[in-house]
């Protein structure tokens, strides 16, 4: 064991941990969920601390020997070598002070170790005076949210959504010749091709990709350098420009200075904007998943227009049952993302005066949404979507028998007369084509031409 001191007194710590007194107090104060902020967030914290050290070193505020050790320790945090020492619960001190101090202490103690000192000997390197120099929780935590969320969206979510768009597009081409009944209000509608239906899904995902991309651009404006309230107190002139340049070098991403530091620290609206776009794609995905479930319903008592890959038994009591489990999983993911967005919205509006104190919650839910969407969509693509097969015969039966085929008669006999044909077809169980032929309204050749389901789809 070792003993460290903070402003409240002494704290006992295991000698093998890199975190320090303030982190230990947070562990004891907040045994809430067991959930921690994820790897990407810790990576972003490491990036900021590395960039800050280089900025302060370049401005002559940290001597070279100490700077080298701090750089190595911060790089190790960035690379994920000390994630087990980031132990603060998501539900913690407001704004993320404990999370910021967790990073400061881990990097300080690791740097001390690199310099052959004993952990906790902050006369060598101090968590606040060296690692947190010219920074505050209030500007480093939102900056960590933005860096981590931007990288997660760019590297994980957008690629898998693009794969989804492409897969849906290829399915639309594969299914383009298959005619089926359209359905509006879950009732018979005019014919449509299965490929057309899937092309709508592909375009919807394409539009959501654009929305998410636009929303993620707001994350590029970092409030770093604003320090506690936006004034940049205790930061040497030039620090703000310097640290932004270093963050750009480390990440390869063209981050920018927040246009107004006071607004940037008061609010976390870029996170809200991105979360709203994730809610949007979740609604799109829910619609697609629900359609897949409907179109594959059956196999004998439902639509059964498409067949899904069988990936596991569907019932613990009904033998042979196979359920649309991948679509159901995707629905659950989407509902969780929508719930996360609600939490983020409430947390974002909780900003008061110079600060939003709900940032750990925002960070966790935002990164969780990106993560589960990425994984959920990826699994849905490979274990469901790619293996979907159509039933062309079943589709054509529905296309021939939809009562909305009478719509094609409107130009010939008018809406009211066409409605009567539709009603009679419903009463008798016959098709619209059969009725018009029996009534000698059209001969068989002309009826087949006018009521050709494929032509009615615009092809």
Active site residues: 315
What does the buried/exposed string (b/e) look like for 335-354 if buried means 16 or more CB atoms within 10 Å of the residue's CB?
Answer: ebbbebbebbeebbeebeee
Strand 2-6 to 9-13 pairing: antiparallel
Angle at 315 between CA 307 and CA 391, to 5 degrees: 10
How far apart CA 139 and CA 161 sit, in angstroms, is 31
How far apart CA 317 and CA 313 sit, in angstroms, is 10
Q: What is the CA radius of gyration of the chain?
A: 30
Structural tokens at position 302: 């439902």
Query: What are residue 181's DSSP bridge partners?
Result: 191
Helices (H), 184-238: 194-217
Structural tokens at position 155: 């590297």
> Which of 183, 192, 188 lies closest to 457 in space, CA to CA?
192
Task: Give the length of the chain.
Answer: 459
3-state secondary structure (DSSP) of residue 218: helix
How far apart CA 333 and CA 369 sit, in angstroms, is 8
3-state secondary structure (DSSP) of residue 320: coil
CB 87 within 8 A of CB 27: yes
Query: What are residue 5's DSSP bridge partners?
Result: 10
3-state secondary structure (DSSP) of residue 122: coil
How far apart CA 195 and CA 183 sit, in angstroms, is 15
How far apart CA 40 and CA 375 sit, in angstroms, is 15
CB 341 within 8 A of CB 279: yes
321 C-beta neighbours (distance < 10 Å), count: 11
Tally DSSP H helices, then E strands, for the chain: 18, 8
- The torsion region of residue 429 among left (phi > 0), alpha (psi -120 to 50) and beta comes to left
């Amino acid at each position: 064991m070792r003993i460290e001191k903070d402003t409240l007194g002494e704290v006992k710590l295991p000698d093998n941990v890199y975190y320090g007194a303030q982190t230990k107090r947070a562990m004891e104060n907040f045994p809430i969920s067991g959930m921690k902020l994820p790897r990407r967030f810790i990576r972003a914290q490491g990036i900021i601390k590395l960039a800050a050290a280089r900025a302060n070193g370049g401005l002559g505020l940290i001597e070279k020997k100490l700077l080298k050790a701090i750089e190595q320790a911060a790089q190790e945090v960035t690379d994920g070598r000390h994630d087990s020492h980031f132990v603060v619960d998501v539900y913690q001190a407001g704004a993320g002070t404990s999370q910021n101090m967790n990073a400061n202490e881990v990097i300080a103690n690791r740097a001390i170790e690199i310099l052959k000192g004993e952990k906790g000997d902050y006369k060598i390197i101090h968590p606040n005076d060296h690692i947190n120099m010219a920074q505050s929780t209030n500007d480093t935590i939102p900056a960590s949210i933005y860096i981590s969320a931007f990288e997660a969206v760019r590297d994980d979510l957008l690629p898998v959504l693009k794969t989804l768009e492409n897969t849906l597009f290829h399915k639309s081409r594969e299914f383009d010749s298959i005619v089926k009944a359209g359905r509006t209000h879950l009732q018979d509608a005019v014919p449509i091709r299965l490929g057309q239906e899937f092309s709508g899904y592909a375009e919807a995902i394409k539009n959501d990709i654009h929305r998410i991309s636009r929303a993620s651009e707001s994350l590029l404006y970092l409030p770093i350098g604003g320090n506690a309230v936006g004034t940049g107190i205790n930061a040497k002139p030039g620090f703000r420009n310097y640290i932004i340049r270093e963050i750009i070098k480390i990440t390869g991403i063209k981050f920018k200075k927040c246009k107004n530091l006071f607004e940037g620290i008061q609010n976390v609206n870029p996170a809200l904007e991105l979360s709203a776009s994730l809610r949007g794609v979740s609604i799109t995905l829910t619609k697609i998943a629900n359609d897949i479930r409907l179109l594959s319903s059956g196999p004998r008592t439902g639509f059964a227009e498409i067949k899904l890959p069988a990936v596991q038994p569907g019932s613990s009591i009904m033998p042979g049952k196979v359920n649309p489990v991948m679509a159901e999983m995707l629905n659950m993911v989407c509902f969780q993302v929508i719930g996360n967005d609600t939490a983020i919205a409430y947390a974002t509006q909780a900003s008061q005066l110079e600060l939003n104190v709900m940032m750990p919650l925002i960070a966790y839910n935002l990164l969780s949404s990106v993560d589960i969407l990425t994984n959920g969509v990826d699994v849905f693509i490979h274990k469901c979507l790619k293996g979907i097969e159509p039933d062309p015969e079943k589709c054509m039966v529905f296309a021939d028998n939809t009562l909305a085929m009478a719509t094609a008669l409107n130009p010939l006999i008018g809406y009211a007369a066409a409605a009567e044909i539709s009603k009679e077809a419903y009463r008798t169980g016959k098709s619209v084509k059969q009725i018009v032929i029996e009534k000698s309204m059209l001969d068989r050749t002309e009826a087949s031409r006018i009521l050709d389901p494929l032509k009615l789809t615009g092809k």
